[in-house]
């Protein structure tokens, strides 16, 4: 069965109500009309009898009879002179229009007294017959069909207008919600009333805006998760490459020591070398674990003093700097950064470690801020500069080899936190600059 639309239902229901009311009204007119019609006819006969009696009063009897005969022939009212009645019987005059076959005939009688010119008192008898049902049917059938047709046409027009008025806002909501299902961000219901329909439209608009905001938020979080997953894949790829080199060296060293090949017979010396390789592996594993932990703490940020943090880290590398006879200068003063503490500490630790380990003996390491950019400058050879620059290129993990896990950790952290950075080369030194979030920038 075909489903009816809301407009069709409202139109059908409204028109049905109007049709029933109109039918009841016309039936009432049809059945009640004979009662009012009879009263009207009696009133009309009484008025005519009074007028005729008043006009014939004082005339001679012969003149009266002639006038009454003419009047009876020209109208549906029969007028006779009753004379003096000797009995209580009423003799109906001949010529009264009666249909003996119909059971709804009725006779209306009016009597008026008047005096002739000779002073004789006469009684005029006015008689008329009425078939009320027949006359009512004829009159009703004369105008009721037209009024019924006009009423139905008017009902159709009113029902159509009413159904359209009721259904229009609902159809508007239907069209708008269909576009909302397609997540059209420009769609909005037009609120042009303060009734329940207007409230419903306003609530739908608010709900849709909230839905769009939620979807946008979920999209942003989904993008962040995908970015994090891509970072983890890149990180594991780079970490596996960096861990493979010392593991291979350690395996070769131990195999040669077991076979007592050449210089590897000096087991005490090469055990120390193997221990150093294990320490290097342990350090790299700790970096991997630290990086994995800070990736899960992206939102836990706070304001940190760069002067205090860099001074603490420089103290950890003071012995290495002293062995390489490096001049360490910290020009930071009041600068602050707004970042996750673990992330910033791991980032600066790797930067200072790389600058200290790869600086030329007798060189320098400088830390400071210039024009909103945090920088670390260290003296190094052209070869070291090339390795560092390649470490920050997109093709680094597929082309460069053996440049250390620390630089990759720095690059990963910077991209994870969306921190702008750049590397500048000088003749005898390399400067790394980054735009740290916070008052510094």
Nearest-angstrom CA–CA distance, 77 and 130 = 10
For residue 216, pLDDT over 70 is answered with yes
Q: What is the pLDDT of residues 283-313, one digit of tens each?
A: 667 766 666 665 555 557 888 899 999 998 8
pLDDT over threshold 50, residue 192: yes
The answer to whether 160 and 7 are in contact (CB under 8 A) is no
- The more confident residue out of 3 and 24 is 24
CB-CB contact of 400 with 391 (8 Å): yes
Q: What are phi and psi of 108, to 5 degrees?
A: -110, 125
Is residue 89 pLDDT above 50, yes or no?
A: no
Mean pLDDT computed over every residue of the chain? 78
Between CA 435 and CA 421 the distance in angstroms is 6
Rounded CA-CA distance 359/327 in Å is: 10
Is the pLDDT assigned to residue 120 strictly greater than 70? yes
144, 30 contact by CB (below 8 A): yes
pLDDT band at 235 (very low <50, low <70, confident <90, very high): low
How far is the C-alpha of 342 from the C-alpha of 417, rounded, in Å?
12
| 3-class secondary-structure state, position 328 | strand
- Report the distance separating Cα 160 and Cα 156, nearest Å: 6
Q: Structure pTM? A: 0.45
What pLDDT does residue 170 have? 83
**Whether 150 contacts 144, CB under 8 Å:** no
């Amino acid at each position: 069965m075909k489903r009816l639309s809301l407009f069709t239902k409202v139109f059908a229901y409204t028109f049905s109500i109007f049709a029933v009311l109109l039918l009841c009204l016309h039936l009432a007119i049809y059945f009640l009309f004979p009662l009012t019609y009879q009263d009207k006819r009696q009133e009309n006969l009484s008025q005519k009898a009074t007028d005729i009696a008043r006009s014939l009063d004082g005339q001679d009897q012969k003149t009266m009879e002639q006038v009454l005969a003419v009047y009876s022939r020209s109208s549906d009212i029969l007028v006779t002179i009753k004379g003096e009645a000797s009995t209580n019987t009423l003799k109906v005059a001949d010529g009264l229009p009666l249909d003996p076959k119909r059971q709804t005939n009725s006779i209306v009688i009016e009597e008026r007294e008047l005096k002739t010119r000779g002073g004789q008192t006469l009684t005029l008898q006015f008689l008329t017959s009425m078939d009320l049902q027949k006359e009512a049917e004829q009159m009703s059938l004369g105008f009721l069909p037209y009024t019924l047709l006009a009423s139905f046409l008017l009902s159709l027009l009113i029902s159509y207008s009413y159904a359209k008025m009721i259904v229009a806002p609902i159809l508007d909501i239907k069209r708008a919600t269909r576009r909302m299902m397609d997540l059209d961000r420009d769609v909005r219901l037009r609120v042009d009333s303060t009734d329940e329909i207007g409230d419903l439209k306003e609530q739908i608009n608010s709900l849709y805006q909230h839905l769009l905001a939620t979807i946008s938020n979920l999209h942003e979080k989904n993008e962040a998760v995908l970015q994090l997953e891509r970072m983890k894949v890149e990180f594991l790829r780079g970490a596996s490459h960096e861990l493979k080199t010392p593991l291979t060296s350690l395996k070769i060293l131990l195999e040669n020591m077991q076979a007592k090949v050449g210089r590897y017979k000096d087991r005490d010396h090469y055990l120390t070398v193997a221990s150093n390789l294990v320490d290097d592996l342990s350090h790299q594993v700790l970096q991997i674990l630290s990086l994995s932990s800070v990736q899960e703490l992206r939102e836990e940020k706070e304001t940190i003093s760069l002067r205090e943090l860099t001074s603490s880290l420089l103290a950890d590398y003071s012995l290495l700097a002293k062995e390489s006879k490096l001049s360490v200068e910290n020009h930071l003063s009041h600068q602050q950064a707004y970042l996750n503490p673990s992330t910033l500490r791991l980032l600066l630790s790797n930067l200072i470690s790389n600058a200290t380990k790869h600086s030329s003996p007798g060189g320098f390491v400088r830390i400071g801020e210039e024009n909103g950019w945090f920088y670390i400058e260290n003296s190094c050879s052209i070869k070291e500069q090339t390795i560092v620059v390649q470490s920050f290129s997109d093709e680094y993990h597929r082309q460069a080899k053996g440049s250390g896990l620390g630089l990759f950790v720095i690059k990963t952290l910077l991209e994870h936190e969306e921190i702008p950075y750049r590397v500048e080369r000088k003749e005898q030194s390399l400067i790394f600059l980054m735009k740290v979030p916070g008052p510094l920038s």
